[in-house]
Structure 1
């Protein structure tokens, strides 16, 4: 096994000691497996923060995407790890990169109810109104794929406070407010109405 292959495996397993050793012996911080997944993306998927820190300090690029269009930042939107997000942000990722659904990291985080993650990511310059391949924004996903409970309602509040357009409709022309009304999500309806939603 090459050093780079060993590094990728160690990153996936969260073995910080082995990663440090391999980097010291010349393995590339940008080691990738055949499908293009980087060691950093593997570490991010496993929430191995210490490993990610080592790789980033060694110059790992956060942006390369594998054949599934995942990269280190995009997978944190799925896992919701704030600690990993902070590490990846240190590396200066491209916030406009999109996953296989055409969404930025903000969109899966909104639909999965990752409140603390959304709050942290909104401190960056990420486009709060990005529209994915389904013609949904993070706001629409929080309403449509959320459960109307406290987590998704708080995400709606955070997105609106960050300037999300409450009237960006889906491809059928249905607005976030209309979706919230259809589902009987009273707290979301109040927030969206207060923000000028129609």
Structure 2
């Protein structure tokens, strides 16, 4: 009988967790509120290792994310591929959710599966306001990921040199990024920008003392 009761409780808990994940996926704030009164498993994981907050973040469901964060959801809880709500919001430019995670204990030193901070993919993908927000929060602008690249290098190497990337380079330089920090092959940001014909970025780097 004890085993049966325990099994029923466990099954009920799983159903509530699944329902919370579904409500997050649907951005159903009312349902989230109802479920939070019935379960203490706010950070329960699904098969991908994602919490309800991670599910809401992936979909950029701001209202669901707010409800979960205000209820105490862990903004640093990582899934099986080392994404957390904070890291994912930064990488994808989900600015409102990112700002909420920063206000609720985001670990600025946490890294993704590539060993990069949230700033590096934000710079790579051209998310200007996200880069600005992360710099203001205090993320290390010269962090080097497992590929040997900084945010500055990724903005140049993986961007397209347009005005977004020009702005990001300027933001990083203003924040004190080392403009001469080369990749593993010894190629500097300036050399990468010159090779790609990114004249505006080249000029910004030169003005900052790049060699």
1:7 CA drift (Å): 0.6
Give the aligned partner of residue 90 of structure 1: 103
**Per-residue CA shift, 1:153-194, capped at 9, x if unaligned?**
100000111111101100000000110011110100011111
| 8 Å CA contact 1:78, 1:105 repeated in 2 | yes
Question: Separation in 1 of the partners of 2:96 and 2:202?
Answer: 32
In the alignment, structure 1 residue 5 sits paired with structure 2 residue 8? no
1:86 CA drift (Å): 0.8
> Which of 171, 186, 197 matches 2:199?
186
1:34 CA drift (Å): 2.8
Give the aligned partner of residue 138 of structure 1: 151
Give the aligned partner of residue 167 of structure 1: 180
**Per-residue CA shift, 1:98-118, capped at 9, x if unaligned?**
111111111111010001111
181-190 vs 31-40, which moves further: 31-40
- Scaled by the length of structure 2, the TM-score of the pair is 0.90
Cα RMSD over matched residues? 1.2
> Which of 34, 40, 54 matches 2:53?
40
Matched length: 198
76-85 vs 172-181, which moves further: 76-85
**Per-residue CA shift, 1:46-102, capped at 9, x if unaligned?**
111111111111111111211111110111123202111111112111111111111
| 8 Å CA contact 1:16, 1:51 repeated in 2 | yes
1:27 CA drift (Å): 4.6
1:31 CA drift (Å): 2.2
Structure 1 segments (4+ residues) deviating >6 Å:
none
Question: Separation in 1 of the partners of 2:25 and 2:146?
Answer: 30
Question: Separation in 1 of the partners of 2:168 and 2:192?
Answer: 15
Structure 2: gaps of 5 or more residues = 1-13
Look up the SS of the partner of 1:159 in the other structure.
helix
Structure 1: gaps of 5 or more residues = none
Look up the SS of the partner of 1:179 in the other structure.
helix
Question: Separation in 1 of the partners of 2:135 and 2:25?
Answer: 28
Higher gyration radius (CA): 2
- Scaled by the length of structure 1, the TM-score of the pair is 0.96
In the alignment, structure 1 residue 151 sits paired with structure 2 residue 154? no
